[in-house]
Amino acid sequence: MNEQSKPTRREQEIERIIDHALGQHDSNDQHDSDDSLLIEMEHAAAMLDLSVAETHPVEIPDGLVDRLKAQVSHYPAQDHTDTPVQPSVSDDPHPLTFPQQSTSENSPSRWVPWMVAAASLLIATVSIFMPRATQSIPDLNTQRLALIESTPADELTQWDWISTDDAAVIGDVIGDVVWSDTLNKGYMRISGLAVNDPSLNQYQLGIFDATRPTGELPQFGEGLLTQRPIDGGVFDMSEDGEVIIEINAKLFVQNAAAFAITVEPPGGVVVSDRSRVPLLALAP
């Protein structure tokens, strides 16, 4: 081994401390310890622990503190003699036990396994009881308003609903369709539709695009209504009052010309028979 690849004394000391922490050290090893390095590492760990505690405080679960105190009491204080300490028998049905290491009494590293065990317990506690950081996701109403504010007026469709006499209409229909052809994105704001049972039927949105061919469905007359509309997704009305639903267009809409909500079997259909059309949204 050349001089460049030979580990430095500091690197050797770090490896030795790691071996102690993992219980892989030689009990007969009398290697001189760099106490300052161990103290430095302990100090860094304490500062890190303090930083986490201040920025992400956690509430220790009931009973854990008492349990830890009970376990600590089973290990008498060290009197710095050569007499091995025998832990007392615990009545705790789930004792927290740690392997005992046979190390030099004067070596500070004899406490490293205990530090690792305590740190593991702390990490486990934090992982279980600390609320996990999640990305803040705006609600659909916030997203809808953002779409309206950020989209130029000539690139935004915002049409009110027109209700029919379908049985699904149970009150005054208030709401609209907000849609951007450029972004192929939009939202429906709806109130006045009946709560549906998803096991029996669901609502489905159909989007009519002025650029798509007509005449494919001649049974519906002529013009725009004879085209096969783009599936805008199925949805449920799970509560009374106003709901906001994100449109899930299965194809790109180049020029939205009309929107229709139909009542369909669970999962929706490829081609609606349009026997039930509670809501329509058309250009003013």
Within 13 Å of residue 50, how many CA atoms lie on the same side as its CB?
6
Alpha carbons 272 and 208: distance in angstroms, whole number? 13
DSSP 3-state of 270: coil
Report residue 282's pLDDT band, with 50, 70 and 90 as the boundaries.
very high
Higher pLDDT among residues 81 and 161, named by residue:
161
pLDDT value of position 239 = 78
Higher pLDDT, 95 or 174: 174
- Segment 250-270 shows an average pLDDT of 97
Q: List all residues 6 or more positions away from 49 whose beta carbon is below 8 Å from its beta carbon.
A: 122
Query: In the structure encoding, which two tokens stand for residue 252, read together?
Result: 């790109």
Mean pLDDT of 210-222: 95
Condensed to tens digits (0 to 9), the pLDDT of residues 115-162 reads 555 555 555 444 444 444 334 456 999 999 999 999 999 999 999 999
What is the arithmetic mean of pLDDT over 101-114? 50
pLDDT at 56 > cutoff 90: no
Mean pLDDT of 2-20: 66
For the beta carbon of residue 206, count every other beta carbon within 10 angstroms.
23
Highest mean pLDDT: which range of 2-16, 59-73, 102-116, 241-255: 241-255
Comparing 45 with 124, which gets the higher pLDDT?
A: 45
Distance CA 8, CA 1 (A): 13
**In Å, what is the CA distance from 168 to each residue of 194, 200, 274?**
5, 13, 14
Q: Which has more pLDDT, 55 or 219?
A: 219
Alpha-carbon separation of residue 183 from 4, 145, 212, 266 (angstroms)? 59, 15, 18, 28
Please check the confidence at residue 185 and state whether its pLDDT lies above 90: yes
What are the chain's domains?
9-129 (no CATH), 140-282 (2.60.40)
Tokens 């302990």 locate to: 42
**Predicted local confidence at residue 240, as pLDDT:** 73
The CA radius of gyration of the chain, in Å to the nearest whole number, is: 35
